[in-house]
Structure 1
Amino acid sequence: MSALTAPGAHAGTGVAPPPWTWDLPPGVPAPLVPADNPMTSDKVELGRRLFHDTALSITGTVSCATCHRQDLAFTDGLPQAVGATGQSHPRGSMSLVNVAYASVLTWGNPLMTNLEAQLLVPMFGDHPVEMGMAGHEGAILARLRTDKTYTLLFAAAFPGPDPVTLHHLAQAIAAFERSIVSFRSPYDRYRYGHDASAISDAAKRGEALFFGERLECHHCHGGLTFADDERTATTALAEVQFHNTGLYNLGGSGAYPVGNTGVHEITDKAEDMGAFKAPTLRNIALTAPYMHDGSIHTLSEVLDHYAAGGRTLKDGPHAGVGADNPHKDPLIQGFTLTEPEKADIIAFLESLTDQALLTDPRFKDPFSK
């Protein structure tokens, strides 16, 4: 990846910033980048600072990085995200790793496909309150325009008469998020680097099970990102898919908990009840708890859920047999898995962890000492 240039290096020079260089293994295509927000080192550096800036929240205590921590593969370790005012989100924070390759950006909204637009939701949305800055747009701009570091960074990233705008703020954060690519796991060294010793024999057996037809895992978690909504610079058309995995079946009706029904909340179609995005499995060992609402705690329990063809909750307000959910994806049929096979699959999933990502200085908090 290109080195970050000094703040202000291109400001006022009339020289276009150098193009961005992706840090990718041979054979891995670059992600698709919007034509109106090209990647530059100056823009990414500005975005990194904004991403980690707690002053962009109503309480001054929360930043984008609060819910997307580098040491947790840009998740937060919570079942559901918690906003600046203490209000809980109904869903967990998705990993931002390789988000540049995602054709859809949230757990259950097929209309949210643009990073620049999506990041405005946590900043200014109020259902729920996340960063809580609705109505404070003027104060944000006033602060940024009087901060010497920010004025230099904005001028370098957006040369022109009015560099400090909310539009440019969104573009910079989106550029930083796109820069968070991860292809340095042991599995990548094994698959792309042709290093047969990079993963264990157990992980190799787990890979065979994962990509086999008995378990069907790869149908929803395949490709470069181990998801099914991949988009690259060479992809003509990205297919957007969502899945009901039988996590709930309230009272045998097929319903999911109110306020957390997935794509159904957008379309109001019965067949979309409980349909959620299949998240990336890269770094999955670091991103517990699992599922959209964090209701499954370990990878072992996730495998139990899919082996059963859906989760059974015997009592309580969410009681029901998920395997019988009438809206469940037909791929979720269940399977038999021995304990050694389960251990092999978990070894394979653990081989998808990119340890270098967790301390990479290109993504770290610039405010930390």
Structure 2
Amino acid sequence: MRRGAPLLGGGAVAVAVLAAIAACGGGGTTLTEDSGSDAAWSWSLPANFPAPKVPADNPMSAAKVELGRFLFYDPRLSGNGEQSCGSCHLQALAFTDGRAHAVGSTGEDHPRAAQHLANVVYNATLTWANPSLVTLERQMETPLFGERPVEMGVNDRNKAAVLERLRTDTGVAGYPARFAAVFAGEAEPLRWSNVIKAIAAFERTLISGNSRYDQWLAGKATLSAAELRGMKLFFGEKAECFHCHGSFNFNDQIVHAGSRVVETPFHNTGLYNIGGTGAYPEDNRGVFELTAKAADMGAFRAPSLRNVEVTAPYMHDGSISTLAEVVATYAAGGRHIASGPHAGDGRTNPYKDGLISRIDLDGVEQADIVAFLRTLTDTDFLTDARHADPFAKN
């Protein structure tokens, strides 16, 4: 929540939001992409969502998306055959897992929470704090092959064996035939680079834009008085949440097919200030871990707030349990931890974003913001059969 925009009245808020969404390049709801594969791909987009950016070397097709869906939910893709991508990305939770820390296939805790995947196709960067990971294909190498921490647990010792599980599949997935059809003409279609391409194609289809808020924008739903007050605060100068969460995707790192300038800000929100030194816990120091620059201490990506009602616990390390606590923390200008190994006053963190400061929000106003945030839940997305586990019904 940051300062610097003019105060908007209730009607002006709606006009400004609609204008901002339209400016992102949207307008149509169905776009057809010639994939050069077995079938053209048609995007069925929410009103005013822009056309997604798709890498030229990984065009979309219906068959590729369906192959990716099987792979996403298949535990055979992990080193020990026990964990799938879907183990940490549950559809009912907007493709996060409800844990403070994700747990890898070997039982090792990840220091950070699994991020939700709703509208991941529009994210300019793909992790909490790595500016260099800007494509789903490149990002996917980390959960698959990473060793600190272990996630999927695929490594040089078992890579071939994991692929062999897919090559010898005779079940409902039918991988040999699917890979041969999707990557026709390739001498070796069933290989790791194509596994990654197929999963990335599926993840690009995880588009959420039919919340009650979206329906209200379209004139098809109503919001309560509390929700409308919360919306006015969210998009207004007093609470200023919109500075980091004001795009059509309710975040501030956006990329789409029409993007010309892509900004990738990361923010220190005053969550920690260990010993008054500005430090964050050593396994969670944000962009600093890559740059070693003091100014990057505690700098993390602002996640999309779509479906935020179901993505608890919150923050990069899952250290805040409820939306009410999140709003209260921002209203205070940071978090004060009175005791323990992380004791310190985050409100005075020297590396905190300079535009994050105490906001005078009373209890009713904070509750109104929470009420508005709950209007961002897209129940259709959370139950859409196109995104569901294809093994579950078999």
**Are 1:23 and 2:38 matched, yes or no?**
no
Worse overlay, 241-250 or 53-62:
53-62
**Are 1:358 and 2:355 matched, yes or no?**
no
Aligned to 1:174: 200
Aligned to 1:253: 277
Structure 2 CA distance for aligned equivalents of residues 155 and 167 of structure 1: 14
Using the aligned pairs only, state the percent identity.
54
Aligned-CA RMSD value? 1.3
Structure 1 CA distance for aligned equivalents of residues 223 and 202 of structure 2: 30
Aligned to 1:37: 58
Runs (5+) with no aligned partner, structure 2: 1-28, 31-35
**Are 1:162 and 2:162 matched, yes or no?**
no
Structure 2 CA distance for aligned equivalents of residues 343 and 313 of structure 1: 23
Structure 2 CA distance for aligned equivalents of residues 327 and 226 of structure 1: 24
Contact 2:76–2:165 (CA<8 Å) still a contact in 1?
no
Correspondent of 1:152 among 177, 186, 197: 177
Aligned to 2:300: 276
What amino acid sits opposite 2:214 in the alignment? D
How do 1:6-21 and structure 2 match up within 5 A? Answer: 16-21=37-42
Aligned to 2:335: 311
What amino acid sits opposite 2:364 in the alignment? P
The Cα of 1:128 is off from its aligned counterpart by 0.3
Aligned to 1:85: 106
Q: Deviations over 1:212-248 (max 9, x none)?
A: 1111210001111100001111111210010000000
The Cα of 1:162 is off from its aligned counterpart by 2.1
What amino acid sits opposite 2:71 in the alignment? L
Structure 2 CA distance for aligned equivalents of residues 16 and 198 of structure 1: 43
Contact 2:37–2:61 (CA<8 Å) still a contact in 1?
no
Contact 2:79–2:162 (CA<8 Å) still a contact in 1?
no
The Cα of 1:114 is off from its aligned counterpart by 1.2
**Are 1:235 and 2:259 matched, yes or no?**
yes
Structure 2 CA distance for aligned equivalents of residues 168 and 59 of structure 1: 21
What amino acid sits opposite 1:337 in the alignment? L
TM (norm. structure 1) is: 0.94
**Are 1:53 and 2:74 matched, yes or no?**
yes
What amino acid sits opposite 2:219 in the alignment? H
Q: Deviations over 1:259-294 (max 9, x none)?
A: 210000010000000000000000000000000000
Correspondent of 2:128 among 101, 107, 123: 107
Aligned to 1:367: 391
The Cα of 1:35 is off from its aligned counterpart by 0.9
Aligned to 1:8: none
Correspondent of 1:187 among 213, 231, 238: 213
Contact 1:80–1:88 (CA<8 Å) still a contact in 2?
yes
Aligned residues: 355
Structure 2 CA distance for aligned equivalents of residues 233 and 334 of structure 1: 37
Contact 1:216–1:331 (CA<8 Å) still a contact in 2?
no
Contact 1:23–1:181 (CA<8 Å) still a contact in 2?
no
Structure 1 CA distance for aligned equivalents of residues 81 and 388 of structure 2: 19
Structure 2 CA distance for aligned equivalents of residues 271 and 345 of structure 1: 30
The Cα of 1:336 is off from its aligned counterpart by 1.3
Runs (5+) with no aligned partner, structure 1: 3-14
Structure 2 CA distance for aligned equivalents of residues 314 and 147 of structure 1: 55
Structure 1 CA distance for aligned equivalents of residues 273 and 83 of structure 2: 35
SS in structure 2 of the partner of residue 50 of structure 1: helix
Contact 2:144–2:153 (CA<8 Å) still a contact in 1?
yes
Structure 2 CA distance for aligned equivalents of residues 17 and 211 of structure 1: 44
SS in structure 2 of the partner of residue 362 of structure 1: helix
What amino acid sits opposite 1:155 in the alignment? A
SS in structure 2 of the partner of residue 151 of structure 1: helix
TM (norm. structure 2) is: 0.88
Structure 2 CA distance for aligned equivalents of residues 325 and 293 of structure 1: 18
Aligned to 1:127: 148
**Are 1:334 and 2:334 matched, yes or no?**
no
